[in-house]
Structure 1
Amino acid sequence: MSQREPFRIRIKVRHYELDSLGHVNHAVYHQYGEIARLELFDLAGGLDGELRERGLAPVLLESTITYRRELRSGDEVDVSCRASFGDGKVFWMAHEIVKADGTLSAEIRCTLGLMDLAARKLVAQPCERMAEAGIDVGVLDSPG
C-alpha cells in the first residue's frame, strides 16, 4: 500500500448544480466522484488504450454517499479518490469532498468491477488484469 496522499481534483460548484433549496443537488455529488475517478484512471494510464483493446472497462456497481455539510454556488471543493483491491471480482474507490476551508462536505464509497465487454461479465482479479493492460495500479492504490 502506498504512503502518498490520495489523488485530488478541485471543482467549483456551479449555480445550475443547485436544487430548489439552494444547495448542490444530491446527484451532483455522484458526478463529482465520477470526475475524480475518471481523472485518476487517466493519470494511471487511461481507459482507452490497451485496456479497451482487451475488451475491458471498469463499471460502477454501487455508490453510497454520506452527506456532512451542504455545498452552495461558488464553493470550491477538493474531491479525493483512492482505490483499494481485494481478492475477488470487485474493487473499491472512496472519495472525500472537502470545501476549500477544510470542511468535509461528503464521503462517497463505490464498489466497481472490471467488465469483459464481449461476455458482459465481471472478470476475476481486476487489479492484475488492469496492470497487465498497462494501467499503473500503484497510482490507483493509495491510502485508505
Structure 2
Amino acid sequence: MGVSTRIEVRGYELDSLGHVNHAVYHQYGEVARMKAFAVAGCDWDELMRRRIGPVLLSTTVNFRAELRGGDVVDVSCAAKFGTGKTFTLEQQIVKVDGTVSAEMYGVFGVMDLDARKLFADPRATLESAGLDMGVLLDG
C-alpha cells in the first residue's frame, strides 16, 4: 500500500495510561506522508517556487489496538485520486507483528498559494511539479 515508514514508539509519546497519546497518531501520519512525498520525488522548494501547497482538509483516525513504549510500527501512505479538487491519503499504523493499531484517512487538496484556492486537478498539479504519483497510488 503505497510507501511505508518505520517508527519506534518513544516514552515521551505515552499518556497517563501508558499507551500512545491520540495526538501522536496524527504525528506518525504526518511523518509517513512527508516520507512518502519525498520518495515520490517531492521537492518542497520547487513546490514553493511554483506557489503550490498540499493541504490537509480533514482527517479521521480509527483506533484498533493500543501502542505502548518500545513498540515498532510501519506507517503506510497510499493515495487515491478521483475527479474533483480533492484526493485521499489512506494510512495504516501496523505493529511489526502484523497487528493493525490504527487506520487513518485524510482528504487533501493542492492549493494555489497566491489565489488561496484549490487546483481543479490535484494529481496533474503535483505531477507537473515533478512528483511521481504512481509511487503513492494504492494498488
TM-score class, shorter-chain normalisation, is over 0.9
Distance in 2 separating the partners of 1:26 and 1:11? 16
| Alignment check: 8 A CA contact 1:47 1:57 kept | no
How far did residue 123 of structure 1 move? 1.0
1:82 aligns with 2:78: yes
Q: Secondary structure at the match of 1:33?
A: helix
Describe the SS at the equivalent of 1:11.
Answer: strand
Distance 2:43 2:56 in 1: 14
Q: Give 1:92's aligned residue.
A: 88
> Which of 92, 107, 114 is the aligned partner of 1:111?
107
Match of 2:50 among 44, 51, 54: 54
Q: 1:97 to 1:68 in 2, by over 3 A?
A: same
> How many Å separate the matches in 1 of 2:137 and 2:99?
25
Unmatched segments (≥5 aa) in structure 2: none
Partner-residue secondary structure (3-state), 2:130: coil
2:41 counterpart of 1:13? no
Change over 3 Å in CA distance of 1:49–1:142 after alignment to 2: farther
Total equivalences in the alignment:
139
Matched, 1:120 2:128: no
CA contact (8 A) 1:91 1:112 kept: yes
Displacement after TM superposition at 1:106 (Å):
0.4
Taking only the aligned residue pairs, the percentage that are identical comes to 56
Q: Gapped runs of 5+ residues in structure 1?
A: none
* Corresponding residue for residue 138 of structure 2: 142
Amino acid at match of 2:95: K
Query: Which ranges of 4 or more aligned residues in structure 1 deviate by more than 6 Å?
Result: none
TM-score by length of structure 1 reads 0.93
**Offset, 1:50:** 2.9
Which of these residues, 22, 29, 32, is aligned with residue 25 of structure 2? Answer: 29
In the TM superposition, residue 135 of structure 1 has moved relative to its aligned partner by 0.8
Secondary structure of residue in 2 paired with 1:80: strand
The question of whether the paired residues in 2 share the 8 Å contact of 1:13 and 1:76 is answered with yes
Cα distance in 2 for residues equivalent to 1:102 and 1:53: 41
Kept after mapping to 2: 8 A contact 1:51/1:134: no
